[in-house]
Structures are given as C-alpha cells and as structure tokens.
Amino acid sequence: MTPHQIQSSIKDFELVEKRRKQIIKASIRLFKEKGFHKTTTREIAKESGFSIGTLYEYVRTKEDVLFLVYGAIYHKVHERLETTIDYKHPSIENLIAVIESYFRLIDDMQEEVVIMYQEMKSLQETTKTYVLEKERELVGMLKQLIRTCHPTGMTEEDAELIANNIFVQGQMWGFRRWALHKQFTLEEYTASQVHYLMRALSIEQVDSSSFFK
C-alpha cells in the first residue's frame, strides 16, 4: 500500500490532498505533544478543523494518518534531493551542496523526524516494509551521486555505506539537535560532517564555506 491507496469516500483528488495536508500538520502537532497512542482520532479531527465524520471521509484508521505523515516526510526529502542533485554534471561540489541542503531540510523538519523514529513501531509490518523501502530509495539517490562524482570510482559497497552515513548524519541532527546545538550551529555541524566525508572519500578537502552563505 502507498499513501495514495489509502481509501477515501471523496472523489475530488485535489480536495483529498488539501484535507490530508491539514490532517498531517495537525497530527504532527498532536503526536509530538501526546504521542501516537494517546492521541485520539477525535482530537486529530478537531485539530484539523473539522468533525470526526469528515475525518473518516479521508482516512479509515489512525494508522492511516501515521502512514500519511511518513509519506509526507519522504516526499519532502525526495523532492529536495531530486532538485539539488545535478545528474548531468555530478561533482564533489554538488555532493557537498546536496548534503548541506538535506541537513537544512532535516533541521526544518525536526519535529517530523523525531515522530518518525518514535512511532515506527506503531506501523503494521506491511506498512513498515513500504516505509523502509522508500528510505532505501533515498539512500540509493545519494549512493549513485557518490559513485558518479568520485574522481577515481568507488565500489558499490563503499558508496552504499557512505550514503547511509550521510542519511543518518542528517537524521541525527533532527533527533539530537537538542544536544548538538550546544556545540555546533547547523552550518558548523554540516561543515564538520563534510570534512569527515572528504577524508572517507580520500579527497583533498574542498572549501565548503561558500555553501553556507
């Protein structure tokens, strides 16, 4: 199942998308405050600005709501990577720009990232499989960029590991920002991670200061 396959009694696609965006925003606020299990569908409906009956026109269950939240998160990340990666002219400079853009997005989505990891256990196995597959797709985009921009080439296994490291480093800022910001600004954190990445790639350090202006 995908987010688009969640049943709705409303046939107007644009209206469904609009109302589900309201539901997602409201649910993120409630899940952050109360957690998934303590939040009721009635509270989600009220926070979304409509009745419980209207809510059930757009989702069937509370898990559908959580699934929509995950779908929205991965859509934002995919869109950011897609628009930042230079597929025609891959380069180390572009890889740095992608990392900076990805980390900044995670900073903007800090609440969503925390909820994502807190509530993964609440998903059914089939839904969880879909969510994890979407994450692998995002890591795959980073892996392909790493392999194509490395000047001497890189094995698939090494690129896979480095891509996962980048992905997790961004998420770490999301759920550890409360501790990391005592030592780093987002720009300093990003520059440090880029420095370690360049060492891992065995590439002379690229001056990344221009990416944070």
Is the model's pLDDT at 208 over the cut of 60? no
- Predicted confidence band at 79 (pLDDT cuts at 50, 70, 90)? very high
Say what the pTM is: 0.84
Q: Report all structural domains of the chain as residue ranges with CATH numbers, in order of start.
A: 3-205 (1.10.357.10)
Q: Higher model confidence: residue 75 or residue 3? A: 75
Q: pLDDT tens digits, residue range 23-65?
A: 999 999 999 888 899 999 999 999 999 999 999 999 999 999 9
- CB–CB of 23/44 below 8 Å? yes
* Residues above pLDDT 70, as percent of the chain: 92
Q: For the residues of 67-135, what is the DSSP string, one character each?
A: HHHHHHHHHHHHHHHHHH--SSS--HHHHHHHHHHHHHHHHHTHHHHHHHHHSGGGS-HHHHHHHHHHH
pLDDT score of 203 more than 70: no
